[in-house]
Amino acid sequence: MASTRSGRRDLESYSINGTEKIIRRGDCVLMQPEDLDDPLYVARVVKLEKDRDENVNVYVRWYYRPEDSKVGRRNFHGEKELLLSDHYDWQSAYAIVGKCVVHSLTSYKALKIIKEEDYFSRFEYRPFVSKGLGMSPKNVDVYCRCGLPYNPDENMVGCDGCGDWFHFTCVDLTYEEAINRKNFFCPSCDLQK
């Protein structure tokens, strides 16, 4: 954790201006970008400090949206997917406009209702590496005949033969067809029947 800077004192919590929401270390927050047309930034609070002039600053670890990375947004990235970066810096707490929750992919999939402030992260991103894409893990489970990682925004159906999962579009199924089927066999398993 960052050490306390000279002339400052650590804070346990901070109340977001104009709200009753309390921010503590470890919370994820929404921060106002300089360009108000840009989407809100997302960060995890690492430390809170108050300076001699009573200004509150937060040391944050940034989440990147896939489109803001060297990789760019790919078709397997979910709409609410974020990349946890190794980019840390100090910001004014006044830029915090709200709280949010960044779930693991597993806990995000288990949500019954996905709220506006719910996001998920499964990749870490190192934006300042000079070689490669700076993303890990390098090896993730892939599914379907298209060989892409899971995207929680796309419907998939499990094969009763091999147990693999397939995107509806990759096996020419509509949502209605998929939910009304008693069994589903992928093209490979269907040929072996």
CATH at residue 79: 2.30.30.490
Q: What are phi and psi of 141, to 5 degrees?
A: -65, 135
The pLDDT tens digits of the residues spanning 97-125 come to 999 999 999 899 899 999 999 999 999 99
Residue 26, judged by CB atoms within 10 A of its CB (0-12, 13-18, 19+), counts as exposed
Evaluate the CA torsion angle 36, 40, 43, 48 in order and state its sign: positive
CA-CA distance, 178 to 13, in Å (whole number)?
48
What residues have CB less than 8 Å from 23, skipping those under 6 apart? 13, 14, 15, 16, 29, 45, 48, 58, 93, 96, 99
The verdict on 145 and 53 lying in the same domain is: no
In this structure, are strands 96-103 and 28-31 parallel, antiparallel, or unpaired?
A: antiparallel
Could you tell me the CA-to-CA distances from 51 to 4, 5, 46, 86, 176 in Å, in that order?
Answer: 10, 9, 17, 25, 59
- Specify the pLDDT at position 50: 92
- Specify the pLDDT at position 136: 62
C-beta separation of 49 from 4 below 8 A: yes
The verdict on 34 and 80 lying in the same domain is: yes
Q: 59 lies in which domain range?
A: 1-139
- Specify the pLDDT at position 131: 61
What is the CATH number for 189?
3.30.40.10
The verdict on 126 and 188 lying in the same domain is: no
- Specify the pLDDT at position 24: 95
- Quick check: helix, strand or coil at residue 178? helix
Which residue positions in the chain have pLDDT lower than 50?
none
pTM of the model: 0.81
The verdict on 134 and 150 lying in the same domain is: no
What residues have CB less than 8 Å from 74, skipping those under 6 apart? 66
